[in-house]
Structure 1
């Protein structure tokens, strides 16, 4: 019988690590930021393609420009014909008409200039908020110092913020961190303005709730809600330093409606419906009082949207207002007959 013996074997090669699939590379997969919440600096680092330019905007602007030119020429010819007719009738009447035309042109020029300033203020606040978000994210001290200087300039004529401006100027000299400087500016300047904006929103919502509860017609409810919403948006814009004119106010309303459309402003969010049902409040209120509470909450949504649109700094240290913050006040107002 053959005697067994040990035979050397070849060493096996170490097993290769399994390669990752070629169609998928986990290292480059990143979560895309929310385009409505991300700052411009975050969006710049992503591969999100810019929105294509709308060709219809060119034709719309061209139509508006040419139409405005024709209307201006027509008004100019009409004014010239009127002055000539006045001079032809009576010489003194022509001079009176010419003086009135000069005053009208001067007043119109001042109004146009004020409208342009109002639009520029809105754009300045928008750009300032975007720059503050970028400086807060990048911790850029130089950018934060420029933002602090611009805030001091915007609120330089506000007597109610004089102490806050002085405290901010003193603290800014010893802050060497860009993000901390933005947060300090928010605590110093935005905190008192936020408190007043919340008070304006709560007061407006209470008025809407009361009028809805006692108004005999639904048309009156709708008209008052629209009027109160516009007034609230204007007051909040003036509070934060926007002070828009007529066309600036139209732009402000468009921005608020766009914000409400993005955030679902026409729907009661933040668990409001659940709170009403869970606490049994809906069963305790009558139909008219329930409509008043709901209309008041819609007015609150407008106030919150206006704060986020015209506020020159993002919410970093201060709590962003939500609808549920105003719900107890409205429910208490509707449930207590003495307050009505």
Structure 2
């Protein structure tokens, strides 16, 4: 048997080719391409869904309001001047008395106008604080969060019920180096006790509306009390969170609440909604008046929730946002006791 031996596949005189070096790209040629998905998501987040329509007639509307107000002011001034002149013509002491009363009226009117302007500015401040807090949460901006914390301390500086919360928040803010965490800590310290009181105010108003609706003999009384209680609830919640609006500020607040209710959708007063929120068995046992009372109470709850979201200076990041279903068991229990 022959021994195995290797047989070459090419002639011995053929030169061996040198090994090829590995290929590499030059660093100057390579360029980092942007992430298409990240860029598109950022553009979509920053872009508006639809361009805001241009408001026309703003100049003429402002001009009409200014000229109309000027004419009314001139007319009132001439009427007051004529009244004081007639008082002086009748009796001199009566003219001086009328002039003093007019001066006191002007001072009181100026103070009222100043308070209205301060109330409107405070509402705008709370709106801006909420927007800035939401932006600081998303961007995790420590500087913005610290400025927000300072403004919150200034707004609630005169609140004795939040003194301990302010002290604890000030101590924690010195050690927090995260912007989003500072905003969340401020919400837990300052907003949590106010949220509890706002829920209590809303529940109490809803109970009163349900009881009055159940025992009132006329539908007009029900409607009047619902409107009155809704206005009072909105005013109490605004005062609770530090808005303290005046007359025109309160009108603006009511407009914002109605706009919020329109955006979030209204609660349709039908038996299907009652059975969906309360339950089939309980809704079938309630009488017609008690069912109307529960529905009116739920509408009052909607007003309270809208007021909380309008005047609350911080968004709901750590605290649960109130919903209508949170108040349903208490209203059902109240209706059951009144049946």
TM-score for the superposition, normalised by structure 2? 0.85
Aligned mates of 1:159, 1:274 — CA distance in 2: 44
* Residue 80 (structure 1) shift: 0.7
Q: Which moved more, 1:61-70 or 1:183-192?
A: 61-70
Q: 1:276 to 1:263 in 2, by over 3 A?
A: closer
* Residue 61 (structure 1) shift: 2.2
Secondary structure of the equivalent of 1:59? helix
Aligned counterpart, 1:183: 184
Aligned counterpart, 1:18: none
Deviations 1:95-119 (A, max 9, x none): 0000000000000000000000000
CA contact (8 A) 2:115 2:246 kept: yes
Aligned counterpart, 2:222: 221
What RMSD, in angstroms, separates the aligned Cα atoms of the two structures?
2.1
Aligned mates of 2:43, 2:235 — CA distance in 1: 35
Aligned mates of 1:99, 1:151 — CA distance in 2: 42
* Residue 52 (structure 1) shift: 2.5
Aligned counterpart, 2:67: 66
Aligned pairs for 1:192-231 within 5 A: 192-231=193-232
Aligned mates of 1:272, 1:164 — CA distance in 2: 40
Aligned pairs for 1:10-159 within 5 A: 30=41, 42=45, 45-46=46-47, 48=49, 50-159=51-160
Aligned pairs for 1:248-287 within 5 A: 248-267=249-268, 273=274, 275-276=276-277, 278-287=279-288
CA contact (8 A) 1:201 1:300 kept: yes
CA contact (8 A) 2:122 2:245 kept: yes
Deviations 1:166-204 (A, max 9, x none): 000000000000000000000000000000000000000
CA contact (8 A) 1:213 1:289 kept: yes
CA contact (8 A) 1:276 1:282 kept: no
Gaps of 5+ in 2: 1-35
* Residue 57 (structure 1) shift: 3.2
Aligned mates of 1:75, 1:304 — CA distance in 2: 42
Aligned counterpart, 1:312: 313
CA contact (8 A) 1:260 1:266 kept: no
Secondary structure of the equivalent of 2:57? helix
Secondary structure of the equivalent of 1:88? helix
CA contact (8 A) 1:272 1:323 kept: no
Structure exhibiting the larger radius of gyration computed from Cα positions: 2
* Residue 273 (structure 1) shift: 4.0
Gaps of 5+ in 1: 1-24, 34-41
CA contact (8 A) 2:274 2:295 kept: no
TM-score for the superposition, normalised by structure 1? 0.85
* Residue 279 (structure 1) shift: 4.2
